[in-house]
Chain A
Amino acid sequence: KAGVTQTPRYLIKTRGQQVTLSCSPISGHRSVSWYQQTPGQGLQFLFEYFSETQRNKGNFPGRFSGRQFSNSRSEMNVSTLELGDSALYLCASSLAVYSHGTDTQYFGPGTRLTVL
């Protein structure tokens, strides 16, 4: 079974630009979560989608948005990029059959975003 894939793997942008990252979950997984990791910080939760609906959102500004398609693939968009947005962005998928809180999350390899 194919794992979680993320594209692109690396990205360089300049301040003020916008970026879209893509995540394809494991087949059959309906929940996709997004995380940001910066040096010295743990994985910071951005948002979680289930059946095309955002179920929960972390404490990030409105420049960070996402969506999920009917095939469970998800995209994350960051508008008006700032230097501080440079980070590794990870997505994770899970079955979310019963309860999301106990589901094992399967992570993708991440997208390394550098903002110059």
Chain B
Amino acid sequence: ILNVEQSPQSLHVQEGDSTNFTCSFPSSNFYALHWYRWETAKSPEALFVMTLNGDEKKKGRISATLNTKEGYSYLYIKGSQPEDSATYLCAYTYSGTYKYIFGTGTRLKVLA
């Protein structure tokens, strides 16, 4: 059974703090790793898709790195703001399939 794990499950940070979360996935037959942000009462919104080992992506204060050999990705948020409060999901796809395997997410709360 393919499993994608995210940690921590939830965290609270103060406004201005930087934080990071982890997404672990099977390293075999890796195809792509996606990050999504899901705000309460809204639809999940795509942040990044990464495919190559060593990939780094950045969008404003949010960045992500990928290590396909060891099967993990980090998402970093620099200088967290209350509007960053959301659940951050990662999803893994593997060769030969059209399935996206999602983790259970990291719920971030940024306190003003």
Contact = CB atoms under 8 A, between A and B. Distances in A.
Contacts of B98: 31, 33, 48, 50, 55-56, 100-101
A48 B63 CA distance: 29
Contacts of A42: 4, 89, 102-105
Given A48-B98, A56-B98, A102 B31 contact: yes
21 contacts: A31-B98, A33-B100, A40-B104, A43-B89, A43-B100, A43-B102, A45-B102, A58-B99, A90-B43, A101-B93, A101-B94, A101-B95, A101-B97, A101-B98, A102-B32, A102-B49, A104-B34, A104-B49, A105-B100, A106-B46, A107-B44
B51 interface: yes
B104 A109 contact: no
Contact of A56 (B4, B42, B46, B97): B97
Contacts of B103: 42
A75 B11 CA distance: 37
Contacts, number: 66
Interface in A42-68: 42-45, 48, 50, 55-56, 58
Q: Is the interface of A mostly helix, strand, loop or mixed?
A: mixed
A78 B10 CA distance: 32
Interface of B: 4, 31-32, 34, 36, 42-46, 49, 51, 89, 91, 93-95, 97-105
Contacts of A90: 43-44
Interface of A: 3-4, 31, 33, 35, 40-45, 48, 50, 55-56, 58, 90, 92, 99-102, 104-110
Contacts of A109: 42-43
A16 B91 CA distance: 33
Contacts of A104: 34, 46, 49
A50 B97 CA distance: 13
Given A45-B100, A56-B99, A102-B51, 8 more contacts: A33-B98, A42-B102, A43-B89, A44-B102, A48-B99, A56-B98, A100-B93, A102-B32
